[in-house]
Every structure is written in C-alpha cells, then in structure tokens.
Structure 1
Amino acid sequence: MSQNPSVTVASLSFSWPDGTRVFDGLHVAFGPGRTGLVGVNGSGKSTLLKLISAELTPSGGSVRVTGQVGLLPQNVTLDTSLKVDEVLGIAATRAALHAIEAGDAREEHFAAVGDDWDVEERAEALLGELGLGHVALDRTLGEVSGGESVLLRLAALLLRRPDVLLLDEPTNNLDLHARRRLYAALERWPGVLVVVSHDRELLDLVDRIADLRSGEVTWYGGNLSSYEQALAAEQEAAERTVRAAEADVRKQKRELTDARVKLARRRRYGQKMWDSKREPKIVMGARKRAAQESAGKHRILHEERLAEARERLDEAVDAVRDEDEIRVDLPATAVPPGRSVLTLRDLQPVHGTRVQGAFEVRGPERIALLGRNGAGKTTLLRTVAGELAPVEGEATVHVPLRFLPQRLDVLDDALTVAQNAARFAPDADANRIRARLARFLFRGARADQPAGTLSGGERFRAALAALMLAEPAPQLLLLDEPTNNLDMASVRQLSTALDSYEGALIVAGHDLPFLRSIGITRWFLLDGALTETSPEELEGLL
C-alpha cells in the first residue's frame, strides 16, 4: 500500500451524452481515513466514484490518484458460471500453485505465483472474516446468494489491497449478520476509504462526511450523527435567516410605498403652486426640476434596497434544503380491517422457507420478512406475486397486487416516466397521469425524463409511482429491499409515502430502522420455517 494514498479532483467537469451536466468545476480531495459521501439521489455520488476509478472520463479538469484504486459499484452483476476463485482474481495463481505442488516446475508457473505463495490461505482467512468461510474457492457463483456475491466482490477488492477503496452502497442485499462482518472489515481499513451509503450504522463508523450538493462538496467532521446535528443547526439558522429576510422585504416594500405616497403629495403640491402662479415661473421651474431629481433618487434608493432585500431572501431560501414529500394517499388502495388479503396454504416455494399450514394476511396489515441471505425472502415474494410456481401448496391473493422487485425492472428504460406510468394505467388520460406523477415529485419536464437516465432513487420513485398509479389500484404491495440505492432523504420520503398508503404491505428487508418507521405490525423470520418474532429478538438472531 502506498505511504500517502490520496485522491485530488481539480476543476472537474462532466456531462452525460444527452447534455445533462453533473459537475462543472468541482474541487475535492480525499485523504487517508474513512469518508462518507452523502447527497440526494442524482447529485452525482456514483458518477464521482466512477470518475475517480477511471470508469468514466471527465470532460474537463483532472482526477489525480496516488496509489491503486478499487471500486465496488452499486449494482454488482457477475456471471453465475464463474468460480469463487475467479471472482477473487486468484484463479491463475491457484492453478500455478497446484501445478508446482504436483511437480510441474516450469518457469511460467513460478512467474504466475510471484511472491503470492500464501494466496489461498489469505483468501480463505478473508472469506472467514466476512462470514463466507463456508464458501469453497471451487464453488460457482450460481450456488451463492445475492448478498454473498456482493461480499465476494468486496473480498476480491480487499485481496488486491488497493490504496483507495471506493464503495457504492456496499450493504445492499446484505443481511444483518453480513453487514456487521462488513463493518468490522472496514473499521480495520488502513488506506483511503470513500463510501456512498444510506446505511446509518455504516455511516456512523466514518471519520468525516462529504456532502455533495449542487455540484459542490461541503465537509463535516465526525460521523453521520454528528453531521445530522450540524445540518440541523445549519437549517435552523437558515430558516431564521429566511424569516429575517422576509421581514426585511416587507419593511422595504412599506418604505417604498411610503416614499411613493410622499412623492405623490409633493407633486400635487408643486402642481398646485404652479397653477396658482404664486412664485416667478423661473423659480418654480427650477424647484420642479430639483424636486423631480430628488424624487427620482429617492425612488431609486428604495427600489434598490427592495431589490437587495429580495436577493438576500432568495439566497436564504436556497440555503434551506428542500425535501419534498411523496404523497400516495390514494383512496382506491384502502383495505377494510378484517378483509382477507392473502392466504398461503402449505406453500413450498422452489427455494427457501416452507410455509406450514395456513398463513393469512387480513386488512391493512404490515408484514416484515427478514432472514439471512439465501433464506428465500425474494423467492417467497415472487411466488406470492405469481412470477414463480410453487413446488406444492398454494398462494391465493384476494385483492389487486403489485410487486416492486429489487432490480426495479418494471420500467422500460427507453420510455419516459410518464409513458411508463401510462403502461400500467392504459385508460387514464395524460393529464390525470401527470397530476398523479406530481405526487411522486415528477413535475413538468421531470415526467418526460427517459427511465434509463434516472438515478437509483429517482428510478425507485418512478417504479413505485407506476405501480401505485396502476389500475386497478394495488391493495397489496410487495416490496423487496426497498431502501437499496436510496439516499437518506429518499428513505425518509418513502417512509412518509408508505405512512399514507392504506393497503396491505409485505416488505422483505434488513433495514430495521426503516421497517420500524413504516409501522410494521407483524415481524417474521425466514429460517427453514416462517416464524413470527419481534425486532428485539431479530437483533440477536441475525
């Protein structure tokens, strides 16, 4: 590892091929230690990590990195036929080692090994640290869960020992057990670490927060909790400034009005004097010109003061963060208490947990499904949604249902947000669709954005909008890891949105703070059987 690893970004500019500008003259530097990079969805966090790792090329400025860079991207897609040692990048070294051990002393094998004689031991030790000690190096990816594949990709980076480690939402798809293994590994990281995440526990482990907003980075010392306290104090001060600026604008408006009244009185008095011819014409003319000049200066002075007050108000308003709320208070989604929504009978999905006997969801219940990676949460949801046929038993849905998968592949990337929503409500006219999309913060031109250009959080919002605005309205909503790829503001927006949803809800996830925030009424653990539990018991089990 380099002695002084660092990242320096200077005058960085970047635009997407369609002309959308992301950065224009960005300056930022990252040194040793753990940095949490936060910002609203679409602010450019993932793009910045890709520019630092050279996956993207800036249109202007420079990115200078001291040392080797490793990037764990937000969406990890790997060939399921790959072996674990291939994912870890040690397949060639292992093959050479085994050849030498078998007596093949060709020079090419020694060259392939280099100084890495303990690579297998290091790989197995690292897998053990990440809770993957049961995953053999010769297994294929098709035999491991989605969360395990994320940890394997991280293990590959850690084995390379890069000087600069960039992680984009690393805890997505990880269960609580795996997340804590990851936290422990990152706490020991000795180089430069920049992590984009909405995971509160992870961000409470960082040394500093870099807040990316409007193309600029603002630094805050300490972890997420310290950042939120500092931000709350800033916002309180900003709101006080807005109130003071609004009062100043009102004052300047009154003074300008008073000045205009006084000037009007003077003009009437001057005209009266002129009409009565009480003074010589030359004197009255000079007095009139002087009065007009004085009146003009007086009016301009007050107008300038009002303009300055309005400018200060605009600046103060800009300093207050606008976090609009999603509203999904759609009456047609309401389910009466006691009404049967879903019935499972002796259900055995193609993979994972079996549901013994009868399992019933009634009324607007809110169900949480938790379990370790590979327990079958996604498979159970897909079976309920009718995407997978069960091995035996049955799943009977008694109300309109919509399923929002982790991949958010309900959207057609080539269509706009409005066109995607129209696919699910073909009988609704354009005005009705746009009015409803505004509830999901897609207003005006934002509704005309192609789905393929949306950020992770925007894409989630668009997918949720398309499903919630579908006809018939969904009275049972299935969500699979809904907080993946969402920034913290979007997680709050989603929590608020689901507060106003009046249908039944089944959520598979690992984010306990989020699940608590949406008023879960029943908690279930998938671990060979479907067992009702509590969030307190889950903390010890997972």
Structure 2
Amino acid sequence: MAPSDLSVTCSDLSFTWPDGTVVLDGLDLAVGPGRTGIVGLNGSGKSTLIRLIAGELTPTAGTVRVAGETGYLPQNLTLDTALRADEALGIAVPRAALRAIEAGDPGEEHFAAVGDDWDIEERALATLDQLGLGHIGLDRTVGELSGGESVLLRLAALLLRRPGVLLLDEPTNHLDLAARHRLYEAVASWRGVLIIAGHDRELLELVDRIGDLRDGGVHWYGGGFSAYREALATGQEAARRSVRAAEAEVRRQKRELAEAQEKLARRVRYGRTMYENKREPRIVMNTRKRAQQVSAAKHRGTHTARLESARERLEEAAGAVRDDAEIRVDLPHTAVPPGRTVLALREVRLRYGARVPEFTVRGPERIALTGRNGAGKSTLLRTIAGELEPLAGEVRAEVQSRYLPQRLDLLDDRLSVAENVARYAPSATGNRIRARLARFLFRGARADQPAGTLSGGERFRATLAALMLAEPAPQLLLLDEPANNLDLSGVEQLTAALESYEGALIVAAHDLPFLRGLGITRWLRLDGELAEVAPEDV
C-alpha cells in the first residue's frame, strides 16, 4: 500500500474486562501516516488501546479498522528462550532454503520458500547491526540474550517485515541507554503509521503529534513532548483563570440573590403594614399583594437561575483543570551533613564479575548509576543494601539505608497500605501513619486498600512511602530503575517527592531526563569497573 493509504480508525470503541472494569467507553480515534504518541495516566487504557488495534483483544463494542499490515511490540515481551535468532526474526525457513539451493538442491519448495527474498540474510544482519545486535549473529538462542537484547531482536523482526502500521507499547522500559538511542534512530527513520504508547520523554520528542488519553477521550497536541508540555501548561493556566472568573461570578450571583431577597422581604413587610393599617381599599391591596407575589417569584427565579448557571460554568471550568496531585513529603530526619561519610567501598568484586576499586559517598550527594543492561547495577545496589555478599572487598554503610528494587516486592499483598507502612514504622501511631500516607495520596479509605489490589503506579507510591517513612529515617536511598512503568504524572510525583529528601541518593536508571530532574551531583558508569563520567558523556 502507498504510505498515504495507511491508517488506523477506532469508532465508538469500548472495552470492559470480564470483572466489569470499564477501560474504554465510546472512544473515537483516527491516525494516519506519521509518528503518533499516546500518553495518559496509569490505568487510562493506553496498553488496552494498543492491544485492541493489534487485534490481541476484541472490543466490547465499536470497531477498529487498520489499513495496512500491523506489527506489534508489547510492553512485556516473552520469547521462547530456545528460539534461534533467525527463528525469532522469522527468516529461518527462507534462510534454510537458501542454504539448500547453495548446496546444489534445486527443489521447487526451496525456491518457493525464498520467493523474492534472496538477500534476506544480508538484510537481517544489517538490521541487527543497525540495532546494535550485530554481535549475536543468526544462530544464537534467545536464552543467551539479555532482556533488552530480546526487545531489540523483536523490533528487528518487525523492521524486517516492514509493516505499514507499527505499534510500540512502552518500548524503552527494559532498554539501556545505548539500546534506547538505537530505538530512537529506528523511530526517527520510520515511514508509515507508527503509534507509541509510553512515557519516555526523549522518545516522545520524535513524534509528530501526541494524543492524551484522559476521561474516556483523546485530546490532540501537535509536535513532540516539549510542544505538548508547553501547550498543556498554557491550557491549564487558561483553565485556572476560567475557574477564578467562574468563582467570582458565583460569588456575585450569590450576593445579588441575597440583595434581591432582602429587597423583596422589605416590600413584603411594607405591604403587610399597609394591609394591617387598612390605608387602601381591600380590593386594591389584594391586587397589589398578588402582583408583588408574582413579581417576587419571577425576580427570585431569575436570580436563582443566574446562580445555577454560574455554578454550572464553574463546574465546567473546574473540569478542565487537571487533578494530577503531587506527593508532598517533609523528611527533616533524613538530612546528612555535608562532608560526612555515608558509604565506602574498597576493592569490591561483585557477583557476575564487576569491580569497584574505590567508591565513597559523602554528605547528601545525588549519584546517577548508569551502564548497559547486565553490567551489574542492580547487583551493586543489592550489595550496598546488604542483600548480597561481595566476592571480595569491603562495603561499609555509615548510615541507615533503604533499597527500592525494580520488582516492587517489598509489600505484603495481604496487608493494607497502612499496615504495610506500619511494618517499617512500628512505633508510629495509626493516626500518624495515615496523616503521612495522605501526603503520598493515600487518603481515607485508600489507605485501607489491600496492597495486592493496587495498580502499578499506586504500588510504587505505597512502596516509596514505606521506605521513606520508615523508622529510623533512611539517610541513604538506593533506587533501581524507579521510573519504569510510571506514567508521566507518576514520574513528576516521584521527582517532587525526592526533592524533599535531604539524604544521600544513588539511582540506577536509563531515563536521562528523569535523572537530570533529580539534581544529580555525580555521574557513574558501571562497565566491568565502576568509573566516574562527565554528564555530557553519559
């Protein structure tokens, strides 16, 4: 198909899970050629929408029409570890046929298997090389690859197929910096329809427009992420001005209604005095009384209608203001004096081979830990946290530390959010725990919600609350890919929460905009050996 003929159209699209949870209700969406980003809060339906377009889910109502072959890269990719690379790429059959022909077997089935793909092996190797996978070749198995390499291998298979419509769901979640940049290059050069659901700000800078999935509809913004944020900020400021104007109008209408009621009350008192004193004929007074009653009802109705109209405008204006609440944390006991030694490592050899000759953290430093997937970043954090013993060397933590793993498995799913926090702060009263949880957006009954029922973003907030509210207060926080699986609002909430933290911080992450937002003071790279790097070299 010609690029201009490619499209995705969703009409009156609805989807409800078997348990009755409504995800999408009457959604309309039309996407043509170009790069489109889909953003939204966790639970807004981004992944569900992508899966509906990919044909992995069936709509409860409405239709999905895709003009063009579809390729889909899911958020949680699972590949058979026994597959060879050429099988995962979908070229094993034509590749074997080529080998048979080259060996002198003229069977028609071999020529049929090859078709027009006589250069399929060369194209496959070139695609792997483009994505930084040239070293794996075509005969290694998926089980020999890292998680990030598996994602890139699946992307390579899609690029080889050249589908007209490509769907990517949170494609950078498990990719290191080098792999992310190769994905960015592939996205920048894509021709056709490309739809990306995600929160990677650098990736979203590459799109032509962004659809914000919110309140059951899609709000469109032209350009990449920076343009989206600017337009959103401008729109929100206008919405807040409208709210202030609507509030002022409601106050004015209330005041006018009160003044009108007072004026009518004076007329009623005057009429009653006239009637009681019989200063006019009874028939005249009765006629005047009825006229005043009609006029009063009409006057009161007019002012009441105006007040109700003003209230409706206020409600409409308030609805346009987003309520992406911020985490607010006050943690004075986490402060570390400048220059105080917080952590020291000497001649440490980690499991799986990485080395740390010497590493010292002093005062409230904020350290970014970078490096390729599999380099040992998580192993280093777990070793510092005391979960793993080093093979050699010394690890000495001088302050209380807490470790937030990627898996977010610190919570007991059977306990409520409040009960989980109480495990880490046993001396705190129930009221104190709830007051502190409210700052992490768990207010009222939400603090009693079982941990096993929390969404990904809620689980992260609950885990972060348990760590940061722990007693004694942690003066060293170790965070392993904390922004993974958080929506854009969640990343901003996390950044705001960490702004209040006054202790030392070591964060392993591949999301550079997120790291820069934390006010990092030192950048480290683990690549066989831990070394300090300049920010521009990350």
Determine if the TM-score, normalized by the shorter chain, exceeds 0.5.
yes
Say which SS state the counterpart of residue 352 (structure 2) adopts: coil
Counterpart in the other structure of 1:322: 323
Give the letter aligned to residue 495 of structure 2. S
Taking a change above 3 Å as real, the CA distance of residues 158 and 431 of structure 1, as seen in their structure-2 partners, is farther
Cα displacement (A) at 1:217: 0.6
Cα distance in 2 between the residues matched to 1:229 and 1:521? 28
Counterpart in the other structure of 1:203: 204
Cα distance in 1 between the residues matched to 2:426 and 2:411? 15
Give the letter aligned to residue 435 of structure 1. A
Give the letter aligned to residue 279 of structure 2. R
Cα distance in 2 between the residues matched to 1:130 and 1:292? 82
Cα distance in 2 between the residues matched to 1:409 and 1:490? 18
Taking a change above 3 Å as real, the CA distance of residues 241 and 444 of structure 1, as seen in their structure-2 partners, is same
Counterpart in the other structure of 2:261: 260
Give the letter aligned to residue 278 of structure 2. K
Are positions 1:170 and 2:174 aligned together? no
Say which SS state the counterpart of residue 134 (structure 1) adopts: helix
Cα displacement (A) at 1:368: 0.9
Counterpart in the other structure of 1:48: 49
The Cα offsets for residues 2-54 of structure 1, whole Å up to 9 and x where unpaired, read as: 65221111111112333222211111011111001122222211111111112
Say which SS state the counterpart of residue 75 (structure 1) adopts: coil
Cα displacement (A) at 1:93: 3.9
Give the letter aligned to residue 319 of structure 2. D
Taking a change above 3 Å as real, the CA distance of residues 390 and 116 of structure 1, as seen in their structure-2 partners, is farther
- 1:79-228 correspondence to structure 2 within 5 Å: 79-103=80-104, 109-228=110-229
Cα distance in 1 between the residues matched to 2:21 and 2:473? 34
Counterpart in the other structure of 2:30: 29
Cα displacement (A) at 1:442: 2.6
Cα displacement (A) at 1:267: 1.5
Counterpart in the other structure of 1:526: 526
Q: Which runs of 5+ in 1 are unaligned?
A: none
Cα displacement (A) at 1:412: 5.3
TM-score norm. by structure 2 comes to 0.92
Give the letter aligned to residue 240 of structure 1. R
Q: Structure 1 residues 224-233 or 271-280, which shifts more?
A: 224-233
Cα distance in 2 between the residues matched to 1:445 and 1:24? 27
Cα distance in 2 between the residues matched to 1:9 and 1:447? 38
Q: Judge conservation of contact 1:12–1:60 (CA < 8 Å) in 2.
A: yes
Cα distance in 2 between the residues matched to 1:330 and 1:407? 25
Give the letter aligned to residue 318 of structure 2. V
Counterpart in the other structure of 1:388: 388
Give the letter aligned to residue 25 of structure 1. G
**Percent of aligned pairs sharing the same letter:** 71
Counterpart in the other structure of 1:489: 489
Counterpart in the other structure of 1:245: 246
Cα displacement (A) at 1:166: 1.0
Q: Judge conservation of contact 1:70–1:157 (CA < 8 Å) in 2.
A: yes
Give the letter aligned to residue 527 of structure 1. D
Say which SS state the counterpart of residue 14 (structure 2) adopts: strand
The Cα offsets for residues 168-219 of structure 1, whole Å up to 9 and x where unpaired, read as: 2222233333222212211221111011232222212111111111110112
Q: Which runs of 5+ in 2 are unaligned?
A: none
Are positions 1:309 and 2:310 aligned together? yes
Aligned residues: 537
Q: Judge conservation of contact 1:173–1:481 (CA < 8 Å) in 2.
A: no
Counterpart in the other structure of 2:405: 405
Q: Structure 1 residues 166-175 or 423-432, which shifts more?
A: 423-432
- 1:509-520 correspondence to structure 2 within 5 Å: 509-520=509-520
Cα distance in 2 between the residues matched to 1:70 and 1:447? 41
Counterpart in the other structure of 1:276: 277
The Cα offsets for residues 469-508 of structure 1, whole Å up to 9 and x where unpaired, read as: 3444433211122222222222222111100012221001
TM-score norm. by structure 1 comes to 0.91
Taking a change above 3 Å as real, the CA distance of residues 106 and 433 of structure 1, as seen in their structure-2 partners, is farther
Say which SS state the counterpart of residue 351 (structure 1) adopts: helix
Cα displacement (A) at 1:456: 4.0
Cα displacement (A) at 1:377: 1.7
Give the letter aligned to residue 119 of structure 2. D
Q: Judge conservation of contact 1:353–1:527 (CA < 8 Å) in 2.
A: yes
Cα distance in 1 between the residues matched to 2:37 and 2:398? 45
The Cα offsets for residues 457-480 of structure 1, whole Å up to 9 and x where unpaired, read as: 334323322332344443321112
Q: Structure 1 residues 106-115 or 469-478, which shifts more?
A: 106-115
Q: Judge conservation of contact 1:352–1:379 (CA < 8 Å) in 2.
A: no
Cα distance in 2 between the residues matched to 1:118 and 1:136? 16
Q: Judge conservation of contact 1:37–1:211 (CA < 8 Å) in 2.
A: yes
Say which SS state the counterpart of residue 328 (structure 1) adopts: coil
Cα displacement (A) at 1:338: 3.8
Cα distance in 2 between the residues matched to 1:160 and 1:418? 50
The Cα offsets for residues 501-532 of structure 1, whole Å up to 9 and x where unpaired, read as: 12221001222222222121221122332222
Q: Judge conservation of contact 1:84–1:137 (CA < 8 Å) in 2.
A: yes
The Cα offsets for residues 55-104 of structure 1, whole Å up to 9 and x where unpaired, read as: 22221111111222222222334444443333323334434444444455
